[in-house]
A and B are shown apart, each in its own frame.
Chain A
Amino acid sequence: MKVIEPHIHMIARTTQDYERMARMHTVACCEPAFWAGYDRTSSQAFFDYFTHISEFEPTRAAEYIIQHYCWICINPKEADDLVLSREVISFIPEFLDKPTVLGIGEIGLNLNTKNEMTIFEEQVELALKYDQLIWIHTPHLKDKLKGTRMMLDYLKGHGAVNPEIVCFDHSEEHTLKMIRDAGFWAAMTIYPVTKNSPARVVDALEIYGLDHMLVDASGDWGPSDPGTLHDAIFEMKKRGHKEEHMETVFYNNPCYFLGQCKKFKPLPTLPKESAWAIS
């Protein structure tokens, strides 16, 4: 079974991780633009970062027969600086035509501040103007519930946002229902300690079903591991789930969502209506 990793920060990972992912049948991965672990000192640092993830990482991944895609944005944590954020937003459009850029992301909120929300809204407008997919970071820990609600309310009230082109990432049990009820895609992140475990992700799949659900490992410079995605596949196997349902979650669903961008090349193995029918 082929696997697609919808969210991983390969800039922070070693080449051995590409090798491990290839051995675990990962055929494509997607890298949203994010915080580097420190605040960048100028907008030029973002320009260089966007160049790295849109030009260098695809060549590094290709050595392991993995297609590498990316998302471009000013991340939520640095979005509290309005001046810096707007400088970065001014040159985002020149990256959107690159062959592996899928859309605007991971935009969102960090501490749910007014400035973060302003830049979130401005980047939603940018995505709509350039007909881009949107990948949303929901806040960590105690800020997640309120931040998710703030962004959902904004997008639902906007009037011009098609929920099919938007994915809310890092969703958990207390935010999944509100995201799905509004018709958006929900991604669950398997990340030690601070996010989901493989078992909780499979619980959510059992409760909510397979449609509009993505799973990722969000591997980055923290104590994370691309292998946690494959731990969830094993968890489904351990519980006796059908291989076709695993394929839906870990390969076909990313194809359905990401394939709305014509630059994304992997193709699903069957139509989504068939894949999402539970039998």
Chain B
Amino acid sequence: MNNENVAEPILGSPKTAEELLEIYFLVMRSALLETAAAMDRIQRAENGNYILKDPRVQKLQEGCEILKNGKPDRVEQLLCLLSDPLEQ
């Protein structure tokens, strides 16, 4: 592995990063499109702009920043963002 920010996985992937991108690109594309389409659908409905201020939607928008931050534990970061705080 040549990314010094990523912990060495114990089992690891037999596929190269390039091969993995070929396998998963359309899956990733589809997931993003579905999210965008659902937000558009909500916004088109009556009261849509107000409903899009729902804290759950705000969290999803915050989550989009996580996709860009370059850290290798994006899923864990997203799940923590969507969780009740531990101290509550």
Q: Which residues of A contact B (CB under 8 A)?
A: 112, 141-146, 149, 172-174, 199-200, 203, 205-210, 238-241, 245, 278
Contact of B88 with A174 in the complex, beta carbons under 8 Å: no
Q: List chain A residues, Cβ under 8 A from B20.
A: 239
A-B contact pairs, 7 of them (CB 8 A): A144-B83, A149-B86, A173-B73, A206-B12, A238-B23, A278-B10, A278-B11
Interface SS majority for chain A: helix
Contact of A174 with B80 in the complex, beta carbons under 8 Å: yes
**In chain B, residues 1-44, which have Cβ atoms closer than 8 Å to a Cβ of chain A?**
7, 9-15, 20, 23-24, 27
Interface SS majority for chain B: loop
Contact of A207 with B10 in the complex, beta carbons under 8 Å: yes
Contact of B15 with A145 in the complex, beta carbons under 8 Å: no
Q: Nearest B residue to A245 by beta-carbon distance? A: B11
Contact of B84 with A146 in the complex, beta carbons under 8 Å: yes
Minimum CB–CB distance for A231 against chain B, Å? 13
Q: A200-B75, A206-B9, A239-B14 are in contact. List 20 more A-B contacts (CB 8 A).
A: A143-B83, A143-B84, A144-B79, A146-B84, A146-B88, A172-B75, A173-B73, A173-B75, A174-B76, A199-B24, A199-B27, A206-B10, A207-B7, A207-B9, A239-B20, A240-B14, A240-B15, A241-B11, A245-B11, A278-B10
Select the residue from B11, B15, B20 with max chain A CB neighbours within 10 A: B11
Minimum CB–CB distance for A171 against chain B, Å? 11
Interchain CB contact (< 8 A) of A210 among B11, B14, B79? B11
Is the CB of B82 closer than 8 A to any CB of chain A?
A: yes
Q: List chain A residues, Cβ under 8 A from B82.
A: 141-142
The proximity string for B residues 65-88 relative to A, scoring 1 for CB distances below 8 Å and 0 otherwise, is 000000001011001101111101
Minimum CB–CB distance for B72 against chain A, Å? 10
Minimum CB–CB distance for B81 against chain A, Å? 10
A144 to B12, CA, bound (A): 27
Minimum CB–CB distance for A114 against chain B, Å? 14
Q: List chain A residues, Cβ under 8 A from B83.
A: 142-146, 174
Q: List chain A residues, Cβ under 8 A from B86.
A: 145-146, 149
Q: Nearest A residue to B23 by beta-carbon distance? A: A238
Contact of B10 with A208 in the complex, beta carbons under 8 Å: yes
A278 to B12, CA, bound (A): 10
Q: Nearest A residue to B11 by beta-carbon distance? A: A206
A41 to B15, CA, bound (A): 53
A174 to B23, CA, bound (A): 25
Q: List chain A residues, Cβ under 8 A from B10.
A: 206-209, 278
Minimum CB–CB distance for B86 against chain A, Å? 5
A278 to B73, CA, bound (A): 23
Q: A145-B86, A146-B85 are in contact. Are A209 and B79 (CB under 8 A)?
A: no
Q: A173-B79, A206-B12, A278-B11 are in contact. Are A142 and B84 (CB under 8 A)?
A: yes
Q: List chain B residues, Cβ under 8 A from A203.
A: 75
Contact of B13 with A206 in the complex, beta carbons under 8 Å: yes
A174 to B81, CA, bound (A): 10
A142 to B82, CA, bound (A): 6
Q: List chain B residues, Cβ under 8 A from A208.
A: 9-11
Minimum CB–CB distance for A181 against chain B, Å? 14
Q: List chain A residues, Cβ under 8 A from B14.
A: 239-241
Minimum CB–CB distance for A8 against chain B, Å? 24
